[in-house]
Amino acid sequence: MFFLIYIVFASTVNLTVDPMGYYFLTTHKFFNEFKPLSHGSRVQKSLLLKNGDFDAIIAGTSRAQVGIDPDHPKLSEYKTFNLSLISSNIFEINKVLQFTQKHQDIKLLIWGMDLFAFNANVFTQRDFNLSLFADENNIYRIYSGYLMSFKTLKNSFKTVKLNFLGNSISSYTRADGFRFISPETRIQPRQTFRRTMKADFLGNENTYSGFAYDDLRVSLIRETLEQYSKNGARIILFISPIHAWQLELIHQVGLFEHYKQMKRDLLKMVSRFNAEHKSSSQISLWDFGTYHPITTEKIPPEDDPKTQMNWFWESSHFKKELGDKILDLILEPADVYQKRPDFGVLLTQQNIENELAELDRKKLKYRKEYPEEVREISQLINETIKR
């Protein structure tokens, strides 16, 4: 009898509060309006995609997840879902987009590209196999485990407490998949830069420490774009902006030529696609991965706990404010593309080699003008990688 009472009680509470944002059936201010414990898992996003109604998708890694806002004014004509996933890669994103096409009629696809997503040694993350992306029959196990779980029950009470207190919530995943981080969030940027580089890149085999560039992943992108284009979707690809620290790290660990090759390979694929599909909507490829006053933004010293950066949370995750600038540009009509923007460039066969040569030139200029930053990154590498 006690077990039956617990099942009824836990299921009712967990369904109502929904701490991980699996349903978003009902939300109430000071109760469960925000889901601070939800981090946009593959399980969550597969459920929202299967049960939701969307016609525009933002795909990519966690850079797009926290930086590209579906609620941007230029996306107002669409019902947009941010499908981007933490630590994802081209192989996994390709499968997720196939799942999306099965359940949604997509009219716009925006896809952010990151170098580590082309790692030949990485396929799917641990929670992928628990989600509907891997097997739609998982839905029964997910729902039963979620509703009756004591862990979920504890998270429900914690969610209610955090919502009631209000001021303790600095980040949460919205029903449209966007990972919102409050602009009021205060961090020490240089410490965060250093910690992120060491843990997420230098010490992570899924990113740089075990990186092997796989140009075949471009073929996977092509397969997905074929399917979406066939259904009339507008497709926009962009290379994510990263801070100059990240570009310098890529250089010092010997991956800069791979970074340039990724851009060449993506443009080659896009150009061939457009040449073969002249009657359909053309794919555009934007490049924001370069040196610019935005990406060379000064990092406050460690003894400055107050100054916050305008454009970056750390070296690889850009803020919503920069994501808004990206959307402002890439969602403009095609004729506006002819103007060279202040930040970002539309890559073409005519300008690609000049842009890559400019990237090399600006890299040398940065290294000359910021020797202390270059040395600090070198020190981080020596501290992290065993020689």
- Band of pLDDT at residue 59, cut at 50, 70 and 90: very high
Residue 347 burial (CB count, 10 A): 23
Confidence (pLDDT) at 305:
84
Q: What is the mean pLDDT of residues 137-162?
A: 95
Average pLDDT over residues 169-196: 94
CA torsion angle 51 54 57 62 (round to 10): -50
**Cα distances (angstroms) measured from residue 328 to each of 68, 90, 332, 342:** 11, 25, 7, 12
Q: For a pLDDT cut of 70, what percent of the chain falls above it?
A: 97
CA atoms within 13 A on the CB side of 160: 11
Q: Could you report the per-residue pLDDT of 218-270, keeping only the tens digit for each? A: 999 999 999 999 999 999 999 999 999 999 999 999 999 999 999 999 999 99
* Core vs surface per residue 190-213: b (16+ CB within 10 A) or e: bebbbebbbebbbeeebbbeebeb
DSSP-based three-state secondary structure for 346: strand
Which range has the top average pLDDT, 180-184, 341-345, 360-364? 360-364
Q: Please give the pLDDT value at position 338.
A: 54
Give the pLDDT score at 341: 65
Of residues 111 and 282, more confidently modeled: 111
Q: What is the model's pLDDT at position 2?
A: 79
Please work out, in degrees rounded to the nearest 5, the angle formed at the alpha carbon of residue 180 by the alpha carbons of 178 and 185.
160
- Predicted local confidence at residue 340, as pLDDT: 56
Q: Express each pLDDT in 296-355 by its tens digit.
A: 999 999 999 899 999 999 999 999 999 999 999 999 875 665 555 689 999 999 999 999
Is 236 strand, coil or helix? strand
Domain range summary for the chain, segments of one domain joined by +: 2-384
Contacts of 287 (CB under 8 A, 6+ apart): 238, 239, 263, 344, 345, 346, 347, 355
- Report pTM: 0.96
The per-residue pLDDT for range 277-294, each reduced to its tens digit, is 887 778 999 999 999 999
* Averaged pLDDT of the chain: 94
Beta bridge partners of 385: none
How high is the pLDDT of residue 387? 45
